[in-house]
Structure 1
């Protein structure tokens, strides 16, 4: 079978149907898909709607989505800096459950994404303002967190409320993306996910410097102000392409795909891959220090992974628009498995570890950019399903893997008996983590095997 994917043209027609007018009063929009299909490049079509897959307004929307993604996930992903600070400074020194703060922030932002999408579908007139509300909640949570007196206060503010606000800030990107991008949607999502990679490089050193200079109270207040100032100019462009309808599209809330085997297979691979994906970024700095790296060189490992994931996300999204999604997953899976077992497993010098970091970010970092292709395949098997509803459930699976990876990694470290009995990272005390990361990456490619067996 050719790698060139026949689903591409079909998914265009399906999604055009999804967003077709539901009432006669909206019939003026009916010719919009044909205008887009003609490949014309005027400023707008005859009905006044901006073009899909191009044009200034589409790229402004994509820019706004990328910035919000970068601010939410870049800041949440830098919690490790706060964790180190809270553990050894001030009133939180030695407190238990500090790690729960970061787990709540990232986990909730993932887990409630389906609820946020359903809410916006049921209350379409508020959907336009959800990201603005989310940014306000997110920034207020950090400002309130600066007054925390114990870890419980931080869990509620910097953890739960930040995760809730962050979810509202970025999920409109999922809802509106299918209106702005159709044939280039995979690339568009890849660019959006790349935003968190860029901020993942920039935020940690800045936050570390602020904590060292001013303490956590001032750092949280500065963070709240900066996140608001950076996001506010882009909120205007974070909006739908189509006019808001007064009719609620209940037909979009068809959840029968949740027990379809195609969804279950893709979700299995997605969740298990996430279970191991986060382990290297958590423990690479510690492993680098065991090789003799100083604090800066050890933190550079995570920066390299995040930077490489920028290119990995864009590349995976680009390929997802042109080839079957399992082809892209195969490339990601094979490359990730080889880089983990050989790159990390046998890295005994810091430069060799840096090579692994780049390879891992490039190959594993783009896995989430395949969600658009997964959603299209799931919709093909479930014609009544809505890709916009399917998509956040893929995020839900990643969130489950994210949360479970914390206690799993701690258990693996305690159970590792290879220290001093194997070569390279396998005998360093992190061998079980290396193996777990590689094995979960293998299972992440289960959809590739399933396609060969014609299960998907």
Structure 2
């Protein structure tokens, strides 16, 4: 797979080469609407090495930290939801969950728009991380003054998501420039940041909330976020000169004309509708069904997040060596067996913990297969004569598909457990706990998320 990865610089100009070589670079001519240079005005550009070297690893480290801090906060919203629902002035409000849904869902759903805008204003794309981080910090500071739930939805939910989407976009935009042969591993390392933040942030924020209250917590986290992330934003920069990528069309929609994209996207959306459900209900399940204490029930989410750190990195390593549908199959088998067998037949907290580890390893690594999907769609686009397809836009639409699943899963899960169906039918197992329909739905959607493996065997991919 890796040998056929497409690097942007190979299409930038006939004289551009891969790696750290010194390249002659000629500015586009006048007919492209850009100022041209005479033949003797050529400049020499020395590109930093790809797939390694100080600059590439600093870029990846900065992306890892941005990933953890931008996405880790909405993934830790459960501690805020618990606090808001039991403390004034928001206690008893039925709309508290909307805050977390907006924060995560909007970041997913607006990804194509953010990617397209960065391509449209490519000269300024590098600095969007700083702009987005400033908006995030401002939104959290503003939310600390909230006295109504609508204020929190607008600030901690919507405005934070807009800032997060803007801050995160350059990480994806420039990843293909810095990593080619190790692209999957690089994405896996970056995305493991969310899992690590999912372990540390909930504990830290819960301690702050119960010690200082929500207003001081939000102001303190806003300041910490600014101090931690602004210096990192300067390492998130392009590897290629502006003119090498300025030819790429913003809002490239060529992928919509390729059946391969829709087959991958369908499986992606279906998998996402069930993926988030264990993260929402595992603590409640452990407490209400298995009688676990509050600390023991909270440990379920921590185990999922810890396991997903290793799962993302491992999947990134595999995606550089195996076909993407094979990697998706590995994720599918583990997630399906974990949900339908281990969780469904769990009768003790130990078995539930085992499920959490398995689910985090396999289901948590599903998105780390996206680099393989992006590469496959780019190749199929060229083979079909559609021309070059921007992989960052493919990522944007895959993220939007996951956002659809995230938004749908909330109200859908409420209907699945309404009245606790199947409760008492098999009292020794998870299926008879009242959460049986939720367990089945999680397992079935995980299974259908691996449909791309079957479609490839049928010649559809």
Sort the TM-score into its range (normalised by shorter chain): over 0.9
Does the Cα contact within 8 Å between 2:20 and 2:50 map onto a contact in 1? no
Write out aligned runs for 1:11-22 (5 A): 11=5, 15-16=6-7, 18-20=8-10, 22=12
Does the Cα contact within 8 Å between 1:123 and 1:248 map onto a contact in 2? no
Does the Cα contact within 8 Å between 1:143 and 1:221 map onto a contact in 2? yes
Distance 1:57 1:250, change over 3 A: closer
Does the Cα contact within 8 Å between 1:121 and 1:249 map onto a contact in 2? no
Q: Is 2:451 the counterpart of 1:446?
A: yes
CA offsets 1:84-140 (integer angstroms, 9 cap, x no match): 111110111111211100000001111111111111111111101011101000010
Does the Cα contact within 8 Å between 1:109 and 1:164 map onto a contact in 2? yes
CA offsets 1:412-435 (integer angstroms, 9 cap, x no match): 011642001124111111111100
CA offsets 1:268-325 (integer angstroms, 9 cap, x no match): 1111111101100111101111212111111010000000000000000110000000
Write out aligned runs for 1:199-214 (5 A): 199-214=197-212
User: Matched residues in 1 for 2:18 and 2:377: separation?
Assistant: 25
Find 1:57's aligned residue among 49, 55, 71: 55
User: Matched residues in 2 for 1:308 and 1:349: separation?
Assistant: 20
Q: 1:19 Cα shift?
A: 3.0
Write out aligned runs for 1:69-108 (5 A): 69-108=67-106
Q: Is 2:2 the counterpart of 1:8?
A: yes
Does the Cα contact within 8 Å between 1:61 and 1:237 map onto a contact in 2? yes
Residue 252 of structure 2 is matched in structure 1 by 254
Does the Cα contact within 8 Å between 2:12 and 2:244 map onto a contact in 1? no
Q: 1:34 Cα shift?
A: 8.6
User: Matched residues in 2 for 1:63 and 1:253: separation?
Assistant: 28
Distance 1:403 1:247, change over 3 A: closer
User: Matched residues in 2 for 1:66 and 1:220: separation?
Assistant: 23
User: Matched residues in 2 for 1:247 and 1:171: separation?
Assistant: 16
Write out aligned runs for 1:105-124 (5 A): 105-124=103-122
Residue 382 of structure 1 is matched in structure 2 by 381
Q: Is 2:409 the counterpart of 1:410?
A: no
Q: 1:347 Cα shift?
A: 1.1
- Range with bigger deviation, 370-379 or 250-259: 250-259
Runs of 4+ in 1 over 6 A off after TM superposition: none
Write out aligned runs for 1:326-341 (5 A): 326-341=325-340
Residue 4 of structure 1 is matched in structure 2 by none
Distance 1:373 1:191, change over 3 A: same
Q: 1:350 Cα shift?
A: 0.7
SS of the residue 2:89 aligns to: helix
User: Matched residues in 1 for 2:345 and 2:311: separation?
Assistant: 23
Residue 442 of structure 2 is matched in structure 1 by 437
Residue 278 of structure 2 is matched in structure 1 by 280
- Range with bigger deviation, 249-258 or 69-78: 249-258
Residue 320 of structure 1 is matched in structure 2 by 319
Find 1:66's aligned residue among 64, 67, 74: 64
Distance 1:85 1:381, change over 3 A: same
User: Matched residues in 2 for 1:349 and 1:408: separation?
Assistant: 27
Q: 1:171 Cα shift?
A: 1.4
Q: TM-score, normalised by structure 2?
A: 0.91
- Range with bigger deviation, 251-260 or 187-196: 251-260
SS of the residue 1:429 aligns to: coil
SS of the residue 2:418 aligns to: helix
Find 2:184's aligned residue among 170, 183, 186: 186
Does the Cα contact within 8 Å between 1:87 and 1:98 map onto a contact in 2? yes
Structure 1: runs of 5+ lacking an equivalent: 1-6, 37-45
User: Matched residues in 2 for 1:432 and 1:440: separation?
Assistant: 12
Q: TM-score, normalised by structure 1?
A: 0.92
CA offsets 1:54-78 (integer angstroms, 9 cap, x no match): 0010000000000000001111111
Residue 432 of structure 2 is matched in structure 1 by 427
CA offsets 1:157-202 (integer angstroms, 9 cap, x no match): 0000000111111111110000000111100000011000001000
User: Matched residues in 2 for 1:47 and 1:125: separation?
Assistant: 17
User: Matched residues in 2 for 1:150 and 1:275: separation?
Assistant: 30
Distance 1:34 1:204, change over 3 A: closer
